[in-house]
Structures are given as structure tokens and as C-alpha cells.
Amino acid sequence: MLSQYISKTPKSKVLFEENKEFMPYGVSSNYRYFDPYPLYLVRGKGSKVWDIDGNEYTDYNLGFGVLEVGHANERIIEVISDTIKDSSIMGFEYYKTGTLAKIICQRYGIDMVRFSSSGTEATMHSIRLARAFTKRKKIIKFEGHYHGSHDQLLVNVNPLKVGGKVPSSSGIPDEVIQNTIIVDWNDIDSFEKVAKEDIAAVIMEPVAMNMGLIPTDKEFMKSVFELSKDKGFLVIFDETKTGGKFYNGAAGYFGVKPDIIILGKAIAGGLPLSVIGGKREIMELIGPGKVAHGGTFNANTLSVNASIVTLRELLTESAFYQLHRLSDMLEIGYRDIAEDLGVELSVSKWGPSGSIYFSEKVPKNYKEFIRMDFSRWFTYFYVMLSKGVIPMGGFNEQWTVSIKHSEEDILKHIEVAEEAIKKAKDTKTNMSIEESF
């Protein structure tokens, strides 16, 4: 199946050979590389993208969940074109930041917000804020959850072997992560053992989206909040991904109020914007001489106006109804394929996003995820690419539907997926990723 990808993308291969001389692995983010070379895209429109060889793909990766408004959305283009005539960045505060802050606070049930440019920045600031508020040092994170690429949380993100504390990059000193505590997702027993009075905060993806899409045990979530109140530590929802899956995000979906919420990706229609939000008594610690927060590109004019339009006009409640309906079609389609072909295939969906696992059941945490056999998934992935569908960004990612996807797009996805899964069924199973190291 890899041969089909190679035969269709010769210009991507040539560009890779050129780029890797000046860029490690020929890309600007490790997550964009896959063997034998990355796919180089030229443009996108609506639900489609085109690569340097001219191949058309229906895109369900959407910038790893960023583009729920679709590629080159007309309304986003219009507002950016109007805005840039006045300036892309002001230096001093832009007059519309308060408008956007109010929209976000009302929609997501937050008291106050500050803006940054990326999820990495926002989670970094959030743990500093939590430590300042509680006057404690330790942070609990869950194995397999991703909170950006700063050292303190770049631990046990995708370890090749489970067990122990594993930095997710070389160059991270042990001293930097000594106050980061790792526990299993959806496992209240492991959480209770470390949930003590010296914890500053627990940070989580409220729905795990860095190992496919693993549903959240609601009783587990309830217990986390109860323990946080009992022990006096904060709950941080990293909604960089989940904030754009339901109208009010995961906090609204679960009916809870975390102490701090991180938002990003889909909320700005494809522009770089992130949000650190939370309860007033916590957020008011930010300021000169208090908790540091800065950034030259924070709340730049383009991102602010794109986000206002996205939240007011594009990602509306009726839009989410349509997104969820199309995602339901994909889920049903995959389940029908599995039944018709007699393949061990489990499907997990949450809002406009979902993922498949070539296994009898969806894993409940990273330990179960990493022990799965991914050989069939990679066969499926390359067949999908060769037939013009980008099903998701990688084996640990998920599909996302945009407001520009149509029922015809979904039916094509399902048709191609049937062929891909049929070929994956005949793939020889190999050892799990963990066993191969």
C-alpha cells in the first residue's frame, strides 16, 4: 500500500530530499512527518486540499482539528482582508480584545480570560498560575495526554514503553519534571494515590485526543473534581481540542466548572489564538509584579477578528448540529463496514471527531492503547491517502468534520474506508509498538 502513496507523490519526495538539507526531517513540526516522507500541501478550499503533485484529498485532519470552518472560509478571508488594511499587530492593546473576551466568557462559562497564540503557551501559563494561586509545586498529568511542547508537561505523552516517568524529548533535565506526577487516565485508584495536599493542580484533556479518541468515564471525572475540592488543588481543562467540539466545549458537555480552562485551535477559524481562562480570584493574580504573562503576538488583530466571526457567525449551535450529524454518519459507516467484513474494529466518536481502532474494544487509557497492533491501521491509512482521503493526522489522532463537508464527502469517505479496511484485514499482524522496542 505504501507503493501507491509513493507512486502518487513523486514531487513530495523530491521536495522532502531538498527540504531536509535545511530543516530536520524536512518539516516545521515533528507531527507532520511520517515514513517514507511527508505529504507537502499547496492549497485548501472547503473540505478539500491539494498536494504539490496536484492530487486532491478530502481532508478530515483539518490542521489537527483547527479548521472546523473549512479551508479558506469565505467569511474568514473577508474579515482578514478588511483587518490587515489597518494593521496585523498593534503593539499596544487592540480595541476589540474586550469584545472577544466577553464572547468567550459568556459562551464557555468563564469569569476572565487572557490571550496567547498557541496551546503550548497557554498550558505553560496555566500551571504557573495554578502554582501561584495554591502556593504548591506539584502538577498531576495523565499518561498519553498532550499539553504542548514545554518541558514541564512534555512527559509520558507517547512513551514507547509504559511504566515510570518518561520525558517525551531528549534535553529535558530530570530536575524540571520532578514535580510532574504521571497517572493513568480513567483510573480513579491511581489518581487517589497521588491526590494529596501538596498538589497545585491536575491538568487533563477532558476527552483524551492524543491516543485516538478515548471516552471519559463520567464517574472518574466526578471523582477528580471531588478530590480537588477535598485536597485544595485546581482542575485545569486543556480544551485546546475539545473546546471546538461542542458549542460550550467539554466543560459545558460534562456540566462542570474547572478552575482554569485552556482554549485554542478551532476557535479562531484557522488563525493562531489560545485562551487562558478561569475563575476571577485565580485570573486576577496575573499582572505586573505578580504572575507573568506576555507575548508580542497575543491577541493580534487578525486572530481577534477571525475568532469573533468564528464564534458569532460560523461555529453556531445549528452548525454544531450539522457537524455532529455528519460525524454520526461516519461512525455508523465504520461500524457497518466492520460488521460486513467481519473485522475487529472499534469506533469512538465525540461530537465532530472520532477515531477507529483495529481491536475488539476502544482502549480506556494509554497502557491499553500502546499495546494494540497498529500494522492494520497503517495499511488503512496509506490506502485512504492513495484514494484521495486524509482520514486523520496519524494513528493517535482522529477525524474531524468541518462546516464545509457534505454528505457526499462522508459517503466517499465510507466507500474508500471499506476498501482500505478490507486490505487492512489481510495485513499480517505485527508486534505492538511497545513490544517492538
Let me know: does 412 contact 389? Beta carbons within 8 Å.
yes
* Angle of helix 317-341 versus helix 407-425 axis, rounded to 10: 30
How far is residue 96 CA from its own chain's centroid?
27
Let me know: does 268 contact 83? Beta carbons within 8 Å.
no
Q: Cite the beta strand spans of 168-315 per DSSP E.
A: 180-183, 199-204, 234-239, 260-263, 274-278
CA 144, 311, 68, 80 torsion-angle sign:
negative
Burial profile 140-168: b = 16 or more Cβ within 10 angstroms, e = fewer: bbbbbbbbbbebbbbbbbbbeebeeebbb
Q: Rounded to 5 degrees, what are φ and ψ at 108?
A: -105, 5
Longest CA–CA separation in the chain, Å: 64
User: β-strand 399-400 against 353-357: which pairing, if any?
Assistant: antiparallel
Q: How far is CA 281 from CA 184, 266, 278, 347, in A?
A: 30, 27, 8, 41
**Cell matching residue 385:** 491517502
CA separation for the pair 354, 372 (Å, rounded): 18
How far is residue 188 CA from its own chain's centroid?
24
CA separation for the pair 16, 32 (Å, rounded): 12
Angle 264-266-267 (CA atoms, 0-180°, nearest 5)? Answer: 70
CA separation for the pair 40, 54 (Å, rounded): 10
CA separation for the pair 242, 262 (Å, rounded): 10
SS3 5: helix
Q: Specify the residue for cell string 464564534.
A: 311
The DSSP symbol for 311 reads: I
Residues whose CB is less than 8 angstroms from the CB of residue 96 and which lie 6 or more positions away in sequence, other chains included: 301, 304, 305, 308
**Cell matching residue 88:** 496585523
Catalytic residues: 146, 238, 265
The DSSP symbol for 144 reads: T
